[in-house]
Amino acid sequence: MARTTIHCATDGCTGTMDVQGNNRRDADYRAKKLVERGWTCRDCDNREAAAAAVAAGLPALEGSDKQVAWANGIRNATISRIEHLLKEAPSIRNLDGGGFGYNADAVEMALLIRKAGQPAVDAAFAAMKAETDARFWIDGRMDAMHVQLAAVVDRLAEEERALSPEGKAEAAAEQEAMEEATLRPAEPVSETIAELSFRDGVFAARYDERSDAFNGTVKAMGYRWDAAAMAWTRPFDPLTMGAPVDRLAETAHELLAAGLVVALHDPEARAKAVARSYDPEHRRWISVITEGANKGKFRLTWGRDEDLYGVFRGLRGAAYRGKMCLVPATSRDEVLDFAEAHAFRLTPGAEAMAAEVLERRERGVVVEATARPKAEAQPRGSRPNAMHVPSDVTLHDDLVDHD
Chain positions contacting Zn ion, by CB under 5 A: 8, 10, 13, 15, 41, 44
Residue type for position 36: E
- Asked whether 231 and 196 are in contact (CB, 8 A), the reply is no
> How many C-alpha atoms does 331 have within 13 Å on its Cβ side?
23
- Asked whether 289 and 296 are in contact (CB, 8 A), the reply is yes
Q: Which is nearer to Zn ion, 15 or 328 (CB)?
A: 15
Instruction: Count other Cβ atoms within 10 Å, centred on residue 135.
Output: 14
Q: Given the DSSP bridges, would you call strands 182-183 and 202-206 parallel, antiparallel or unpaired?
A: unpaired
Q: How far is the CB of 52 from Zn ion (least distance, A)?
A: 16
- What is the rounded (10 degree) CA torsion for 195, 199, 203, 207? -20
d(CA 137, CA 131): 8
- Asked whether 152 and 79 are in contact (CB, 8 A), the reply is no
- Asked whether 233 and 203 are in contact (CB, 8 A), the reply is yes
Q: How far is the CB of 15 from Zn ion (least distance, A)?
A: 4
Q: Which is nearer to Zn ion, 72 or 233 (CB)?
A: 72
Rounded to 5°, angle at Cα 260 from 258 and 262: 125
Q: How far is the CB of 70 from Zn ion (least distance, A)?
A: 16
> 394 CB contacts (<8 Å, ≥6 apart)?
none
Q: Which is nearer to Zn ion, 7 or 360 (CB)?
A: 7
Q: How far is the CB of 14 from Zn ion (least distance, A)?
A: 8
Q: How far is the CB of 37 from Zn ion (least distance, A)?
A: 15
Q: Which is nearer to Zn ion, 7 or 345 (CB)?
A: 7
* Radius of gyration in angstroms for the set of CA atoms belonging to the chain, rounded to a whole number: 38
Q: How far is the CB of 46 from Zn ion (least distance, A)?
A: 10
d(CA 389, CA 387): 6
- Asked whether 53 and 47 are in contact (CB, 8 A), the reply is no
Q: Which is nearer to Zn ion, 15 or 188 (CB)?
A: 15
Q: Which is nearer to Zn ion, 8 or 124 (CB)?
A: 8
d(CA 347, CA 140): 60
- Asked whether 74 and 138 are in contact (CB, 8 A), the reply is yes
Q: How far is the CB of 42 from Zn ion (least distance, A)?
A: 8
- Asked whether 345 and 279 are in contact (CB, 8 A), the reply is no
Q: Which is nearer to Zn ion, 8 or 318 (CB)?
A: 8
Helix 65-88 with 118-129: angle, nearest 10 deg: 160
Q: How far is the CB of 50 from Zn ion (least distance, A)?
A: 14
Distance of CA 151 to the CA centre of its chain: 24
Q: Which is nearer to Zn ion, 16 or 118 (CB)?
A: 16
Q: Which is nearer to Zn ion, 49 or 241 (CB)?
A: 49
Q: How far is the CB of 76 from Zn ion (least distance, A)?
A: 18
d(CA 387, CA 220): 52
- In the three-class reduction of DSSP (H, G, I as helix; E, B as strand; rest coil), residue 16 is classed as strand
Q: Which is nearer to Zn ion, 15 or 296 (CB)?
A: 15
Phi, psi of 202 (to 5 degrees): -130, 130
Q: How far is the CB of 8 from Zn ion (least distance, A)?
A: 3
Q: Which is nearer to Zn ion, 35 or 44 (CB)?
A: 44
Q: How far is the CB of 25 from Zn ion (least distance, A)?
A: 27
